[in-house]
């Protein structure tokens, strides 16, 4: 004997199906083709960053190489730049990676992908590669912009600028927490531990 579903059960089923469909649709909209999400788990919480492989393929490939190798496990966010402490500063960022960097034949530098080529910008929540005065010297160090840092884009007084390759999609509260953490000058004291960085999809 077939029993008809009760109105309540039917309503719940339809609501569940709608939620699943809307969830999948939302994810599809939020995650364009060519992007990769990574979770930066820190002692202060988790930051999820969407890497833009379509527009910054070289920089993204380099970062994911170190992510997949587990190189960032146990690394730190060690630098904070904030105008509250340095009113003259043109930028506000937090910086992390394998600091201090040492000469290592296994760590190769990558060519700069300037913002004028990628169309990406150093705006609030953007992730970009740190480097020396040599534009093509980026390796493992990265920073996250806090506020509008387009001063770091290509074409300004900094010449070729700094390569943006993604942006924070969740966890800006964690970024702000790290940004405001105790520091001696620009050096976080103590540094904030990066537990791991992993792909999440």
DSSP string, 11-76: HHHHHHHHHHHHHHHHHHHHS-TTEEEEEEEETTEEEEEEEETTT-HHHHHHHHHHHHTTTTTT-E
pLDDT (0 to 100) of residue 130: 96
pLDDT (0 to 100) of residue 16: 39
pLDDT (0 to 100) of residue 2: 36
Which residues of the chain are modeled with pLDDT < 70? Answer: 1-31, 100-105
According to DSSP, residue 152 is labeled G
């Amino acid at each position: 004997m077939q029993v008809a579903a009760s109105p309540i059960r039917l309503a719940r089923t339809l609501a569940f199906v709608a939620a699943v469909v809307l969830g999948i649709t939302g994810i599809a909209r939020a995650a364009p083709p060519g992007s990769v999400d990574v979770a930066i788990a820190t002692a202060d919480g988790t930051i999820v960053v969407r890497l833009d492989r379509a527009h910054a393929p070289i920089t993204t490939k380099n970062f994911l190489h170190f992510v997949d190798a587990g190189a960032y496990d146990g690394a730190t966010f060690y630098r904070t730049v904030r105008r509250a402490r340095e009113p003259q500063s043109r930028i506000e960022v937090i910086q992390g990676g394998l600091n201090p960097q040492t000469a290592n034949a296994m760590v190769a530098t990558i060519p700069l992908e300037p913002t004028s080529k990628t169309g990406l910008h150093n705006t609030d929540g953007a992730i970009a590669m740190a480097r020396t005065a040599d534009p093509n010297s980026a390796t493992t160090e990265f920073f996250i912009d806090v506020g509008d840092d387009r001063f770091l884009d290509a074409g300004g007084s900094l010449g070729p600028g700094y390569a943006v390759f993604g942006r924070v999609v969740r966890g800006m509260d964690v970024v702000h927490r790290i940004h405001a953490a105790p520091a001696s000058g620009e050096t976080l004291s103590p540094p904030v531990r990066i537990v791991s960085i992993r792909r999440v999809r």
